[in-house]
Structure formats: structure tokens, C-alpha cells
Chain A
């Protein structure tokens, strides 16, 4: 096994946080509850969590990818990519931690470099790097489009 029991517990906790956030904010299809534990288990072996979530009613979907590392007994999300797609599978917003952008679309330094978000217009915006902030923004977009 790649990780010791302490590291596995940290990955478990991270997966639980993601499961909890997605179920609270995005109303996933029932299948998500069945499939997610096996995805979490794969991440315990590989250090890589990849989740595809179909959102009920709206037809939107989320792609969550996180690659983990450990620094001094702490879990670190080494690289991530969060994507919200519409029913035609086109990206609406996405966030990642690649260091290819230094400034936002207005020319201001990114507040949490290298974390950034590609907004609905494809523009680079500052982003905290927190999945809860991404899901908050995604859930608002989903809600607004369902109401329309």
C-alpha cells in the first residue's frame, strides 16, 4: 500500500469533505452515493481522486480531480481541477492550480497564486483554491439556470 494508516485517514477525511459538500450543495443523482465510496477507495491506493457528478434536474455535471501529497504528516492537494459543465458538456466555469497565470483578466495579481478560476466568459479570476468556494459558486449558477 502506498500510504500508511495515518495518511489513509487523512485521504478518507478529504473524500468525506468532498462527498458532504457535493451532496449538500448540488443535489447529485442517487448513483453518486453508490459510486463515491469506490472512487474514494481508489484515491486511497493511488493518491488521485476523480469524481464525475451528474446533478439532478438541471443536467449539469461536475468533474472534480485532486492529486494528493503529504508534507510533514499533512495532506496537501498538490494539483486540482474543478469543472462545472452544462448539459451539452461544455465548461461553464473551472478552477485549477497550474501556475500558468500570474494576473487576472484586469491585470491584477492573483490573490492566491497559482490558484485561479476561468469564469463563464473564459476570463481568469482570483480564486481561493478551496473546493467549498468552487461548489458555492457552481451551485449558484446551477440554481439560476434551473430557475430560468
Chain B
């Protein structure tokens, strides 16, 4: 049942999760939060994050997901910029 550390590292490195797949997954999660709260993520982030209203499990996760989405998106475009010679 439980993997050893070596097995675990091997399993993780065997997966081939692409940056695009990660962006799609995070985007899907953002969409689910938007549907649930009837609020767009950018509005949520501007209005709620950094205020006491953020202190709920969903909102903390939503904010993390939102930041991670943009961080991953940014990395994709910086990589594409390098490979296409765009500075």
C-alpha cells in the first residue's frame, strides 16, 4: 500500500503532467468556484482577498488557486518566449 520514498519519487517523475494540463486543471477549479459563488475570480480576488472575509476554507483555496493559475500561465509564456526568441 504505502510507497517508500524512492518509489514515491519515481512515481512522481513518471507522470507527464504538462504545463497546459496544469493550467487547464487550475482553470477548471477557478470556474467551479465562480459557478458556486456566482462571482468572477478577478472580482473575488480584488474584493475579498486581504480582508477578514477571506477567512473561510473555500476562499483561502480559491485565492491560492488563482495565484497559482497566473504563476503557471506566466511560466508557460516565458518559456514560449525563450523558445521562439521573443524577449
**A residues within 8 Å of B by Cβ?**
1-2, 12, 15-16, 19-20, 23, 30, 33, 37-38, 40-42, 44-48, 50, 63, 65, 67, 79, 81, 83, 91, 94, 96, 98, 100-101
Contact = CB atoms under 8 A, between A and B. Distances in A.
Interface residues of B, number: 31
B73 to A, nearest CB: 10
B60 A37 contact: no
B15 interface: yes
B9 interface: yes
Contacts of A65: 60-61, 64
Contact of A47 (B1, B3, B57, B71): B71
- Say whether chain B's binding surface is mostly helix, strand, loop, or mixed: helix
Contacts of A81: 57, 60-61, 64
A45 B60 contact: no
Contacts of A79: 60, 63-64
B75 A1 contact: yes
Interface string B50-65: 0010110100110111
